[in-house]
Amino acid sequence: MPKMKTHKGTKKRFRLSAKGKAKHRQAGTSHLAFRLSNKRRRNLRGTTTLAKPMEKKIAAALNGYSN
């Protein structure tokens, strides 16, 4: 049986933390941000952790790959 390949799209969008949580960039920050309030733009900065139900699927797609 061949090895499972890492899903490259997932690898570009998520990172696993030391405890296995999936960290990701928040949506809505790429463009057209002028229509958001300054408070909203400020709160979208940085990374957040993914919702609990999705963590297992992301970890499987990353196939143990951690950056």
**Tokens at 2, concatenated:** 């061949």
Q: Is the pLDDT of residue 66 over 80?
A: no
| Pairwise pLDDT comparison (66 vs 26), residue with the higher score | 26
Is-contact 34 45, C-beta < 8 A? no
Residue closest to 65 by CA, chosen among 19, 29, 14: 14
Let me know if domain 8-62 sits in CATH 4.10.410.60. Answer: yes
pLDDT digits (tens, 9 = 90+) for 11-65: 999 998 888 889 999 988 888 888 999 999 999 999 999 988 888 889 889 886 6
CA–CA separation, 55 and 48 (whole Å): 13
**27 exposure class (CB count in 10 Å sphere: 0-12, 13-18, 19+):** exposed
Kindly list the domain boundaries of the chain, sorted by start residue: 8-62
pLDDT, position 19: 87
Q: Is the pLDDT of residue 67 over 70?
A: no
